[in-house]
Amino acid sequence: MENQDYSVGLDIGTTKIVAIVGRRNAHGKIEVLGVGKAKSLGVHKGIVNNISQTINSIKSAVAEAQSSAGVPIHKVTVGIAGKHIRSLQHSDYIMRDHPDQYITEEDIEKLKDQVKKLVMLPGEEIIHVLPQDYKVDSEGEIQEPIGMHGKRLEANFHVVVGQMGSIRNIARCVREAGLEMEALTLEPLASSEAVLTKEEKEAGVAIVDIGGGTTDIAIFKDNIIRHTCVIPYGGGIITDDIKEGCSIIEKHAEQLKVKFGSSVPELEKDSTYVTIPGLHGRPDKEISLKALAQIINARVEEILEMVNTELKAYGAFEQKKKLIAGIVLTGGGSNLRNLRQLANYIMGFDSRIGFANEYIANDKNQYLKGPEFATSIGLLMESLKIRDKKSPTQEEIIEELKPQNENEIRDHEPEILTQQQTQAETVARRKEEVKRNRPTFGQSILDKVKKFFEEVEE
């Protein structure tokens, strides 16, 4: 199997690192070839704070993915998050040299490149330049300007910015793990690819990806990305609260959260307890599930209120910007029981849990069904899109070959003419030699007479 037959998404998260290898089948769905998962060591709230540990975790996840897929991994599409991520709105335009010619992809890229030259704050770098809508001359609110004619091409952009140091650290970890970074993608955008439908993006929807170290938000309306942000709190801080509140070790706190955790204390019985084993001969500890839910509820409400603040900043409660499709909760943190009901109550929008296996063709064991795989599957989908964009179609190949063949004929035309001319000269020269050497009628009679007298004398 050649390298271009498959793509790889690499999710460098706070709690886990996941590598997924896959390809697109004949029906357009994703066929997963292999999955690798490793505990994330060296990443805190989406930011790399220990290079060597992160490299080892990446190597471990990639090695497992290679082993299960049976293919070598060289290029990966990587996700980025962290509290350093911010976004801004920007408008820009270019004046086209040939307005009589229609607008092409090159014009769009030229406009994007111009936006990428924006002066950022010291230490910041642009990650994404996402067009929202276009304006050609005096005509506005255009979704797809390619093929139109016009002199002035203008667009509104959603620009995603991050700290240069954090971006460089991720790139270094990937490089030193023996991999090439094909692209760097904002994680909420990747998650939205995996769990949102086109109808939801059209109606207006916010995806809330609750990861281990961060909660990532992306808002769509009219199929356009409207707002992105990263909140520096996730499932990890809930685990810390349980550890401190119940005076237990982190391992037991995580197990309690995953197996028995709930977001709504009122739905838990007072009489229900769970026993935690004591440390080194100490007695076992009994913890009330209602008390556990109260600890979880306090932190989850805080995170959801922060999400609510971002929704208000976008204007989601205005009639024109209203999110008709509501909220889609995903990420490992969305596995908490009763989280959807709490989100409905706090934010006032209908919500659902976003599962990432909708686009997967061969997930028979439902291993990838969990929302914790949303980002990694989204990164795989992004990588496949990049590969599809780079791969020329059959028509493009034919069109590309045509001028090449004409150029080859044109390039070799003097050589062909020279060969033909040489062959003609050779034939003419040989004819001349034959003609010159052929005896005349008188010469042939004289030769016969000489031969006759020579024979008589003998």
Burial label for 91, CB within 10 Å (0-12, 13-18, 19+), is: exposed
pLDDT for 130: 94
Residue 67 has pLDDT above 70, yes or no: yes
Burial label for 433, CB within 10 Å (0-12, 13-18, 19+), is: exposed
Within 10 angstroms of residue 238's Cβ, the number of other Cβ atoms is 27
Question: Can you give the pTM of this predicted structure?
Answer: 0.81
Predicted confidence band of residue 416 (pLDDT cuts 50, 70, 90): very low
**Of the listed ranges 250-254, 295-299, 340-344, 363-367, the one predicted with least confidence:** 363-367
- Mean pLDDT, rounded, for 220-237: 94
Predicted confidence band of residue 424 (pLDDT cuts 50, 70, 90): low
pLDDT for 123: 93
CA 434 to chain centre: 76
DSSP conformational letter for 73: -
Predicted confidence band of residue 2 (pLDDT cuts 50, 70, 90): very low
Rounded CA-CA distance 177/173 in Å is 6
